[in-house]
Amino acid sequence: MSDAASELEILRAELTATKAELARSNAVVSASEAMIAGLKLEIAMLKREKYGRSAERTARLLDQLELQLEELETAAAEDAIRAEQAAEKATKVRAFDRRKPVRKAFPEHLPRERVVIEAPTACACCGSDRIKKMGEDITETLEVVPRQWKVIQTVREKFTCRDCEKISQPPAPFHPVSRGWAGPSLLAMIVFEKFGQHQPLNRQAERYAREGVELSLSTLADQVGAVTELLEPLHTLIEAHVMAAERLHGDDTTVPLLARGGTKTARLWTYVRDDRPFGGTAPPAMAFRFSRDRSGEHPTGHLAGWKGILQADAYAGYNQLYDPKRLPAPVVSALCWSHARRKFFELADVEGNIRKGKDAKEISPIAFDAVRRIDALFDIEREINGHSPADRLEVRQRLSAPLVEDLERWLRGERALLSKHAKVAKAIDYLLAPNHWPGFTRFLDDGRICLTNNAAERSLRGVALGRKSWLFAGSERGGQRAAFMYSLIGTAKLNDIDPQAWLADVIARISDIPVSRLHELLPWEWNAAALQVKAA
């Protein structure tokens, strides 16, 4: 029995060493790719200086190379940290020492704030109180106050014992990331501006330089990668909370992905948990996912093992989720009335059509009447928003069901008189399709279901705005990192807290907090604690 246990222990040690060596190899590859990207950028910049800077194509090439370098540097930072963590668990694998970008000394003009760690009153070795100061070590951390930069000097005074001649000194200050130089507030600002304000790191670096602090793109990307790895446990908790919901909002949007020879259309998927419309007490949250295309296998994989109600559009890619043979159970489809209304509204928008130069006679009276009838359903929903599922269901059965029944009868009658090529016929067919109509009317049987999928659409607004700033995702891994950060920032916004302030506090505390108390950093619990402190 002891031989078997010994052999098992040897196998475990070998597995740990293999994992550590693999992590080290990944870190070497990531660092090499970042170095190659940096050299390509330098070559392109030298060519531009030699042949002139008038070509628009050259300027766009530089933007692409800078974004590629940003993504690769960030990925290299993540892999380096994983390699270090794996090396600590293995005794036979040396830690990976990644080539770090050379960082200049902090500017002399920045004000210094000395934070002196409390000195020991007795020798740490023998306990004698006969100690005297013999020097100090200073660790500088770059921190930022809104529109004001400063360098915090953390002083560690040294004392020597007159009895035993041993030296006593407080431990080195804690940094959120390994060998870090940036404070939590600065890290939160860099991350939030990139993913919350949609400012690429190269533009951030330019702005910081104008403020008198030169930080290279590689240096900033290094910190983004480290923060992403640091916040992974919190992201896992948020995603688990989202997938524990009985009802989810789902949607997706396009994201240009940089590829060989140009860009390709990738996708960002969002899944939102928001129980507030039916009086639920669970905090709202969202989880984003990234994919290279819009294949139906992606939502099927995202929601593998989940069962409940999915509020989404009529995209056919969700059909595998609704399969009766699906395990553990088929997902229940609830379609969005805003999508259906929009198709009619485009044909009934008098002002919009006139602005486009169309004759008012082109306005479809059928579409106009359909919008009016659907709006009556929305009026009822506004009155019951926030009520319990039972109350909502009672009102819907009493008021909404007759309106829906009348709408269906009227639409089928009008459709029978229309040509299949009529624009309004297509809008009617979308609503009354045999595989759509049950999803549209399901809200009449369940008080938890919302009439629209607006919660998911709202979560994607920031992505739509961001596309105008960052133009495209630099790599597939960069898209996944963006989805990661959008989940954190979007969840913070859903809970009505400042994402940047929350991130700064989380970055400062997450390494010191036990795993059993990690939930205290979730946005809704963090906000509740802040309100209690404010009230006190």
Assess contact for 311 and 450: CB atoms under 8 A.
yes
Residues recorded for the chain: 536
3-state secondary structure of 197: coil
The pLDDT score that the predictor gives to residue 234 is 96
Number of Cα atoms under 13 Å in the Cβ half of residue 354: 5
Cα separation, 77 vs 178, whole angstroms: 10
Cα separation, 24 vs 85, whole angstroms: 10
The pLDDT score that the predictor gives to residue 54 is 47
The pLDDT score that the predictor gives to residue 47 is 59
- The answer as to whether 436 is a domain residue is yes
Cα separation, 326 vs 442, whole angstroms: 20
Dihedral, CA of residue 23, residue 24, residue 29 and residue 32, to nearest 10: 140
Q: How many domains does the chain have?
A: 2
Cα separation, 75 vs 207, whole angstroms: 23
- The answer as to whether 67 is a domain residue is yes
Please identify, among 74, 89, 104, the residue that sits at the C-terminal boundary of a domain: 89
- The answer as to whether 162 is a domain residue is no
- The answer as to whether 325 is a domain residue is yes
The pLDDT score that the predictor gives to residue 214 is 92
Cα separation, 326 vs 336, whole angstroms: 23
Report the 10 Å Cβ neighbour count for 535: 6
- The answer as to whether 282 is a domain residue is yes
- The answer as to whether 234 is a domain residue is no
Phi-psi map region of 262: left, alpha, beta (phi>0 left; psi -120 to 50 alpha): left
* CA angle 30–34–40, rounded 5-degree value: 145
Domain boundaries, position 395: 247-462
Residues in a beta bridge with 311? 249, 334
8-state DSSP, 391 = H
The pLDDT score that the predictor gives to residue 121 is 86
- The answer as to whether 221 is a domain residue is no
Please identify, among 462, 488, 506, the residue that sits at the C-terminal boundary of a domain: 462
Provide the pairing of β-strand 112-116 with 148-161: parallel
* 173-188 exposure pattern, b = at least 16 Cβ within 10 A, e = fewer: eebbbeebbbbbbbbb
Cα separation, 152 vs 146, whole angstroms: 15
Please identify, among 462, 493, 526, the residue that sits at the C-terminal boundary of a domain: 462
pLDDT tens for the chain, residues 1 to 536: 567 777 777 777 777 877 777 777 777 777 777 777 666 666 666 655 555 544 444 555 556 666 666 776 777 777 777 777 777 766 554 554 555 556 678 888 889 999 998 888 899 889 898 888 888 988 888 888 867 899 988 899 999 999 898 999 988 777 777 767 889 999 999 999 999 988 888 889 999 999 899 998 888 988 998 999 999 999 999 999 999 999 999 999 988 887 776 778 899 999 999 999 999 999 999 999 999 999 999 999 999 999 999 999 999 999 999 999 999 999 999 999 999 999 898 887 655 554 555 555 566 788 989 999 999 999 999 999 999 999 999 999 999 999 999 999 999 999 999 888 888 999 999 999 999 999 999 999 999 999 999 999 999 988 877 666 655 566 788 889 989 999 999 999 999 999 999 999 999 999 889 999 999 999 999 987 766 666 66
8-state DSSP, 319 = G
Provide the pairing of β-strand 131-145 with 148-161: antiparallel
- Identify which of 121, 181, 116, 118 has the alpha carbon closest to the alpha carbon of residue 155: 116
8-state DSSP, 473 = B
Measured CA to CA in angstroms, residue 468 lies from 188, 264, 465 at distances of 23, 16, 6
Phi-psi map region of 119: left, alpha, beta (phi>0 left; psi -120 to 50 alpha): beta
Give the chain's count of helices (H) and strands (E). Answer: 19, 9
Sign of CA dihedral 392, 393, 399, 401: positive
- The answer as to whether 156 is a domain residue is no
Number of Cα atoms under 13 Å in the Cβ half of residue 403: 19
For 405-437, the DSSP string reads HHHHHHHHHHHTTS-TT-HHHHHHHHHH-TTTH
